[in-house]
Structure 1
Amino acid sequence: MESLQDLQLKLIKGVLIFNIIVGVGSIFIFDPWVPFITGQVFGMIISILNFRLLSLTLQTAIKMESAKAQVYVGSRYVIRFLLMGVVLFISIKADYINVLGTIIGLISLKLIILITQVFSNLQFFKTIIKRKEVK
C-alpha cells in the first residue's frame, strides 16, 4: 500500500501534468492567453496548498481527543473555505488573472483525485456492469 506522502506526490504530479495540458490547449483557445495561464497557475498553487493544509489538519486532529479535534477541524475548514473565497475574489478583481483559469486550477486536484482513485479500480466497474437485478 502506498504511503501518504507517495500518494500526495502522485496526485500533485497528476495536477501538474493536467494543468500543463490544459495550459497548452488554452494557448490556441484564448487570444490573450497569459491571463488564463496566470489564473490557472494561481488556482493550481492554492489548490495544492489547500490540499496540504487539509492533510496537516487531519494528521494533527487524529492525535487530539474527540471534542477538541472536532473544533479544530471545523475551524480549519472555515479557514480553507475563506481562502478559496479570497482567491476567487482576487481573480475576479485582477485584470491580469482570468477567472476561468483560476477555477480550472482550483478544481484540477479534485479531478485528478477522482480519476486516479475512483476510476483506477477496474474490478469495481466490472462488478457494476455485470450485476443483475433480483426480482
Structure 2
Amino acid sequence: MDVKVAKEVKAVSMGVPIFDAVAVLLLIAISQFSIPMLIGIIFGSVVAVLNFRLLALTLEKAVNLPPGKAQAYTGVRYMIRLTITAAALIVSIKNPNLHIIGTAIGLISTQVVIFIKTFIVSKFKRKEV
C-alpha cells in the first residue's frame, strides 16, 4: 500500500476508538448504555475499519487498471463491501448479545472520523488570499 494511503488509513483507524469512546460516554449520559450496545459498537467499528481498508486497497489497484476494467473491478469490490456490511447488520439482528443500534453507530464510525478530521484540518489550515 502507498505510504500516504497507509498513513491515512492508520489515522482514521486510530480515530475510530476515540469516536467509540465518545459514543459510549454519550450513551451513558442519556442512560441508553448496555453491554450489548458496547459490543455492537465495537463489532460495527471493526467491520467499518475493515471496509475502509478494503476500499483503500481497491482504489490503489484500480488506478493502475484501464478505465473499463477499473470500473468493473471497483463495482465488484463495492458489492463485496456492501455484502460485508449487510452481513454485519444481519448478525447483529440475529445475535442477542449485539445491539443493532450499536452496530449501526460502529458502522458509521469511519465516516464520522473522516468528516471530523476534514473539518478540523480545514479550520486550522492557513487561508490563502
* Fold shared by both chains (TM-score > 0.5): yes
Shift of 1:30: 3.1
Shift of 1:21: 2.4
- C-alpha distance in structure 1 between counterparts of 2:53 and 2:76, whole Å: 16
Give yes or no for the alignment of 1:85 onto 2:83.
Answer: no
CA contact (8 A) 1:88 1:99 kept: yes
Shift of 1:62: 1.1
Where in structure 2 are there 5+ consecutive unaligned residues? none
Match of 2:59 in 1: 58
- C-alpha distance in structure 1 between counterparts of 2:114 and 2:84, whole Å: 21
Code of the aligned partner of 2:22: I
Shift of 1:36: 0.4
Shift of 1:5: 1.8
Cα deviation code 1:75-109 (max 9, x no counterpart): 11111111111111111111110011000000011
Match of 1:98 in 2: 99
Q: Which has the larger radius of gyration?
A: 1
Shift of 1:123: 7.3
Match of 2:21 in 1: 20
Code of the aligned partner of 2:20: N
Between Structure 1 and Structure 2, how many residues are aligned? 124
* More displaced stretch, 115-124 vs 86-95: 115-124
Give yes or no for the alignment of 1:108 onto 2:96.
Answer: no
CA contact (8 A) 2:48 2:106 kept: yes
CA contact (8 A) 1:43 1:103 kept: yes
- C-alpha distance in structure 2 between counterparts of 1:7 and 1:57, whole Å: 15
* More displaced stretch, 52-61 vs 5-14: 5-14
